[in-house]
Structure 1
Amino acid sequence: MDEPAYPQPWDRAASLFHFLARIPALEHSNELFGAAVAVGYLHASGLPARILAKEAADVAEQVSSGRTSVHTLAAVLKEWTERS
């Protein structure tokens, strides 16, 4: 329990995004909620992210449909933070 399951902030944000998008916690908009929470997590970790709405919607749809893994999503989130 002393070691985080995911070592980098992008990995943790991706895991959170993936979980929120795939688990129907809300009546609707789970995918975009997951994206917003992940970006908020990155910002709280000192890694502001710059995203485009269309890009976020596309990634969220890929996550919810199961076509994107946490690992791949972490790479996308890292790209978003490198733009800032």
Structure 2
Amino acid sequence: MPSSRVTRTPPTTTTPANDDPRHLDETRKYLQDTEEVAAVARHAKEFADLMLLRHLDRINPTVLAQTAEHLYPETTVDGRAVEW
């Protein structure tokens, strides 16, 4: 989903802690960074490394690897070229 479609939901008094608007802001920033990094990264490992630098405390390594390898199907996160 493009980051421009992420909208902020106003907090309510019944909002659980894990639905804190801060999480929406962090997610929006993560999506924006994904677009920026994808525009400059040359392969899956570089994409993953750059995202880790920006979001070390927020990254699920398995999902990051899958995303990187989806965006750059010719390489893997461990730096190997994929041979078809």
TM-score class, shorter? 0.3 to 0.5
Ranked by relative contact order (alpha carbons within 8 Å, sequence separation 6 or more), the top structure is: 1
* TM-score for both structures, normalised by structure 2: 0.39
Q: TM-score, normalised by structure 1?
A: 0.39
Of structures 1 and 2, the larger Rg is shown by 2
Decide which structure has greater helix share: 1
